[in-house]
């Protein structure tokens, strides 16, 4: 397939996703424009940086499934339980079945995230404040599993910076930060540089 055909496909899919998101969140009105434009800039811009089309299907799949969750997280600071769990399970199954990540690497990713979760849990108990939502850990497992391990540091740095910029741009510094949109945006950029 010609690269221009891929570009037409991805732009069409993103337009369809944006239409579905506008329909689902129409009660938010014009507030929807900011997160959709933010994600679309990263998604479309990153798409044009991808040179190796072997994993283009993975880029499209992740964006199709995670964009509605990212918008949901942006507005509600949480995601719906069952759609989120289905998407995480499906992604993990695909990654292991298609051999994007080996089972030993996947287990070490899960153990690393679990260790990090335990450390954050104790910090949350000591300070009596929640830092990271439960869905963010599972999202991190999915995004890390689809990247080469040497890129994980770039991904963590980028989504952390995007979250800090979000806090800095808000008037209230104690605002809850929706991490999934920033995870998705940074994943798009890091994934496109690796392919």
Nearest to 95 by CA among 151, 142, 160: 142
Q: What is the pLDDT of residue 157?
A: 94
Low-confidence ranges of the chain (pLDDT < 50): none
Tens-digit pLDDT profile for residues 112-144: 999 999 999 999 899 888 888 889 999 999 999
- Selection from 140, 80, 86 nearest residue 115 by Cα: 140
CA atoms within 13 A on the CB side of 113: 21
Percentage of the chain with pLDDT > 90?
33
Q: Identify the pLDDT of residue 118.
A: 93
Q: Considering the entire predicted model, what is its pTM? A: 0.85
Residue-range domain boundaries for the chain: 3-194
Question: Would you state the pLDDT for residue 26?
Answer: 67
Residues 185 and 162: beta-carbon distance below 8 Å:
yes
What is the model's pLDDT at position 65? 87
**What pLDDT, on the 0 to 100 scale, is given for residue 2?**
58
Alpha-helical segments (H) within the chain: 3-24, 33-49, 56-76, 81-97, 103-127, 134-145, 152-169, 179-194
Q: What is the pLDDT of residue 186?
A: 95
- pLDDT score, position 141: 93
């Amino acid at each position: 397939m010609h690269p221009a055909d891929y570009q037409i496909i991805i732009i069409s899919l993103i337009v369809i996703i944006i239409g579905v998101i506008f329909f689902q969140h129409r009660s938010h009105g014009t507030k929807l424009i900011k997160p959709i434009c933010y994600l679309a800039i990263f998604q479309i811009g990153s798409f044009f940086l991808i040179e190796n089309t072997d994993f283009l299907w993975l880029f499209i799949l992740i964006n199709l499934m995670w964009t509605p969750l990212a918008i949901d997280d942006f507005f509600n600071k949480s995601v719906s339980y069952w759609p989120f769990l289905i998407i995480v399970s499906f992604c993990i199954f695909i990654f292991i079945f298609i051999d994007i990540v080996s089972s030993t690497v996947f287990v070490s990713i899960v153990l690393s995230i679990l260790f990090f979760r335990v450390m954050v849990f104790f910090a949350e108990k000591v300070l009596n404040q929640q830092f990271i939502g439960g869905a963010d850990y599972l999202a991190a497992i999915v995004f890390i599993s689809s990247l080469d391990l040497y890129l994980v540091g770039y991904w963590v740095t980028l989504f952390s910076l995007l979250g800090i910029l979000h806090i800095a741009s808000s008037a209230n510094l104690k605002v809850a930060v929706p991490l999934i949109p920033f995870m998705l945006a940074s994943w798009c950029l890091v994934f496109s540089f690796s392919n």
